[in-house]
Amino acid sequence: MFLPNAQAYARPRLPSSDPVTAPRLHAHELACQRGDRLLFRALSFALEGGDILHVTGANGTGKTTLMRALAGLTTPFAGTVACEGARGLLDERTALDPDLPLGRALAFWRRLDAGGDGGEVRARLALDALLDVPVRYLSTGQRKRAGIAVLLARGVPIWLLDEPLSGLDHAAIALVQEIIAGHARGGGIAVIASHQPLGLDSVVTLALEDHRPQVDAV
């Protein structure tokens, strides 16, 4: 089994009070395809609570495909994904109704997740001023912040973030870095697909280029 960075597993972990609820995300010999093309193969990693995995790769190397396979939305071509704990996915499609004002679009997910008021999260992501603005008028960065607010309010242990920093300004990037670091400190798992540096400490990096199939499988 390939381990992206053996040191990550020697790192002392936060004490986990309940081993049953400790999150876990293992990928074993994963291979994914898009259309007829095999994007990567023999990809394995094992993440426990507190781990951050940074998936790097140029456009088209399969970052999004990997995230969707890890989320359980698609079946990988080969290999398995084992996971304990609920998964949350943040990608470019934030699932917020474009015709609704942001406040009502967020309220739908809050009702569905049976979460609290979420005011704290909104304030932290500076969304309060935007609640009356229809989602389709929001900029890319504002929409991304709203997506992060939905993810945060859900309180799931495993985060799958597909390009979480794209479209954000400097202040928002710093904030999201802080949120991700805080999530890991709290015993959560974060898998981040991004082609830009994350600026986070103790991150394991997984380069998809290293797993490109040697012979094209067409």
Partner 1 sequence: MIAALLRRDLATFFPFAGGGAALPVVFFVAVAMLYPFAVGPDANTLSRTGGGVVWIAALLAAILPLEKLVARDIALGMFDQLRLRGLTEEAIMAVRLLAHWLSFGPPLLLAALPAAALLALDRSTLELLLLGLLAGTPGLAAIGLMIAALTASLRAGAALSGLLLIPLALPILIFGAGALARQDAASIGFVAAISLLLIAIAPFAAGAAIRAAREV
Site of interaction with partner 1 (CB under 8 A): 35, 68, 71-75, 86-89, 91, 93-99, 108-109, 111-114, 154
Residues found in the chain: 218
Report, in Å, the least distance between residue 89 CB and partner 1.
6
Burial class (CB in 10 A: 0-12, 13-18, 19+), 35: exposed
Nearest to 105 by CA among 81, 77, 127, 72: 127
Residue closer to partner 1, measured from CB, 111 or 170: 111
What single-letter DSSP state applies at residue 113? T
Least Å from the CB of residue 35 to partner 1: 8
Rounded Cα distance, 56 and 44, in Å: 15
Residue 17, token pair as written in the block: 């009070």
Nearer to partner 1, 4 or 76 (CB): 76
Which C-beta is closer to partner 1: that of 100 or that of 200? 100
Residue at token pair 């904030």: 175
| 7: nearest Cα among 213, 170, 202 | 202
CA torsion angle 179 183 189 193 (round to 10): 0
Query: d(Cα 13, Cα 187) in Å, to the nearest integer?
Result: 8
Q: Could you tell me the smallest distance in angstroms from the CB atom of residue 98 to partner 1? A: 7
Nearer of residues 93 and 185 to partner 1, judged by Cβ: 93
Q: Which is nearer to partner 1, 116 or 199 (CB)?
A: 116
**In the complex, what is the shortest distance from the CB of residue 15 to partner 1, in angstroms, rounded to a whole number?**
28
In angstroms, what is the minimal distance from the CB of 212 to partner 1? 21
